[in-house]
Structure 1
Amino acid sequence: MTNLFFNKVSIIGVGLLGASFALALRENGLCKTIVGTGRKEDNLRRAKERGIIDAYALDVRDICEDSDLILLSTPVGAFRDIAVRIKDILKQNAIITDVGSVKGKLVHEIESLMPERVYYIGSHPIAGSDKSGIDDARADLFDNARCIVTPTEKSNEMAREKIIYMWRRFGARVEVIDPFIHDEIYAAVSHLPHIIAYTIVNTIGDIDSKYIEYAGQGFKDTTRIALSSPEMWRDIVIHNRENLLRLLDVFKENVDRIKRLLEKKDSEAIKEEFKSARGLRERLQ
């Protein structure tokens, strides 16, 4: 594929990822008009003033008609309701994608809701931060970031290739992965760590919330992701709960093992546990 041009792109949820997506489209000359929607009109107005979007509306149906590409950039819990609300106004050959970090059953469900000749291709760019607003949006957010594309056996080849090409134009390193395998991977390396970070902070609160004032950089680094949107992460963990319940059992086994070693004052075994973890962590650059 040598060219790609979307006449109209609709972004549902103009936050950090949605706004950065819009800026990347503009930077790469991949669209003519970008429209957006969201819950807060003030945010949408600022996005328009900054040139991130060309126009906005508060009703999702008002922005999706005649769109060539629709991006879902809301908490994943809203995806299905949005798809139901807009499916009867979408033009033929329109493509829907997203930036959600849960795929699995959700991909198949949304795909099944699409009318004939409207195509859904799941995407998950591994980019962003604990920030969530347009003030931190930038066109190069996806540059050199991994982006997982999760088609199914029913996916339209043209739509799949357009989405892959688009992310590569943004500078992303695209990998195609089965939606269910995606959820197994990211339950382990993303969703579980978020649960643990929230739990560590809440543990301090249970002991004495004033202790938080004494935390150093190590605590800040370990728990930075606990600053992430509670609404977004509520939806993620609920939609990936089966994988997370299994992983929480594994995590509990690891915590229980450390507890037993502490009870026995087995310093050598504790050192080996830490050494093993350090060795695995060193593989992450």
Structure 2
Amino acid sequence: MEDHDFRLNIVVVGLGLIGSSFAMALKKLKPKNIWGIDKDKDTVDIALSKNIIDKGFTSERYILKTADITVIALYPENTVEFVKENIKNFKKNSIIIDVSGIKSKVVEDINSFLPEDLEFIGTHPMAGRENRGVKYARDDIFNGTNYVITPSCRNKEKNLDLIESIAKKIGFKNVVYTSPKEHDDMIAFTSQMPHVLAAALIDSITDESDVNLFIGGSFKDVTRVALINPELWAELFTVNSDALIGKIEKFEESLDRIRTAVKLKDRQTLCAIFKDVTYKRKQIF
């Protein structure tokens, strides 16, 4: 990969946890400018007070015309809407990337109306925290994590190289290239399913006062991601419903095997299942 000059004007749209963390991490590359856009003025003011961005805006038209790279850190459907509404405001020959958790629909929808003098690259930083918002942003949130790029036939190799180089410079350990469809299929299992399971487990509680007295580390670990952003995850689940339903059904088959073995008091089958999952877990980590 070639060595890149990061003296660029970069605009981050959406100054929540990921957007603000992205801006903080990008500042370490010493670009020309890091500007932020957020519809909430209080959020912009906090980002400015914490020196996350150099300048902040609640309106995007003027500032987008100067951006070499625009990083859109919005929900998937809002990402598509933002690009469409500002299609005439982006700087010609600039790069637009997103960081949303769903790729197929976003990449397909945006490329369906994007002019030839703009390039959109779908990306997904595999990082986050339980808390959301600019106040919880950190410049090291991406350190040691994975960054997924889902290129399309419209992407130029030099621009993909630039985004990969930026990702590695701001802390990502691995940069993975895959198709939008494969991304959504894998993410349904590795990201969305844990949230499904944690939500279902908490939802099954019938008496919270009793549970509180018997909680250990394992329950806390399994249900950590039940601290969920309702609007975001409802959108992610429904936009990726086909892939997610397949993973839920596969999980139901596994759960049914365990349920049947427990019902029959079949220790041999349970031991075989536990040995198998222990081996698989060690292979993954």
Q: TM-score range by the shorter chain?
A: over 0.9
Structure 1 contact 88–115 (Cα < 8 Å) conserved: no
Q: Name the CA distance, whole Å, in 2 between partners of 1:231 and 1:6.
A: 36
Structure 1 contact 6–69 (Cα < 8 Å) conserved: no
Q: Name the CA distance, whole Å, in 2 between partners of 1:254 and 1:277.
A: 11
Identity level (%): 30
4+ residue runs of structure 1 moved beyond 6 angstroms?
none
Aligned to 1:213: 212
Aligned to 2:249: 249
Secondary structure of 2:283's counterpart equals coil
Structure 2 contact 35–56 (Cα < 8 Å) conserved: yes
Alignment of 1:3 with 2:4, yes or no, is yes
Q: Name the CA distance, whole Å, in 2 between partners of 1:171 and 1:284.
A: 22
**1:102-139 deviations in Å (ceiling 9; x for gaps):** 11232122122222211001111111222222233222
Q: Name the CA distance, whole Å, in 2 between partners of 1:195 and 1:160.
A: 33
The code of the aligned residue for 1:19 comes to S
Cα 1:193/1:108, change in 2 over 3 Å: same
Aligned to 2:185: 184
Secondary structure of 2:10's counterpart equals strand
1:54: how far off?
Answer: 1.7
**1:237-272 deviations in Å (ceiling 9; x for gaps):** 112111011111111111122121122111221122
After superposition, the CA RMSD in angstroms is 1.7
Aligned to 2:201: 200
Alignment of 1:98 with 2:98, yes or no, is yes
1:40: how far off?
Answer: 2.6
Gaps of 5+ in 2: none
Alignment of 1:282 with 2:282, yes or no, is yes
**1:43-91 deviations in Å (ceiling 9; x for gaps):** 2101101110122222343542321111111122311111111111111
Cα 1:212/1:46, change in 2 over 3 Å: farther
Aligned to 2:34: 34
Structure 2 contact 4–162 (Cα < 8 Å) conserved: no
TM-score (norm 2): 0.93
Alignment of 1:159 with 2:159, yes or no, is yes
1:6: how far off?
Answer: 4.8
Gaps of 5+ in 1: none
Secondary structure of 1:9's counterpart equals strand
Secondary structure of 2:152's counterpart equals coil
Aligned to 2:51: 51
Secondary structure of 1:282's counterpart equals helix
Give the 5 Å matches for 1:107-146. Answer: 107-146=107-146
The code of the aligned residue for 1:232 comes to L
Aligned to 1:239: 239
Q: Across the two proteins, how many residue pairs are aligned to each other? A: 282
The code of the aligned residue for 2:246 comes to R
Secondary structure of 1:35's counterpart equals strand
Secondary structure of 1:152's counterpart equals coil
User: Which one has a larger percent helix, Structure 1 or Structure 2?
Assistant: 1
Aligned to 2:23: 22
Q: Name the CA distance, whole Å, in 1 between partners of 2:139 and 2:111.
A: 29
The code of the aligned residue for 1:107 comes to V
Q: Name the CA distance, whole Å, in 2 between partners of 1:63 and 1:115.
A: 19
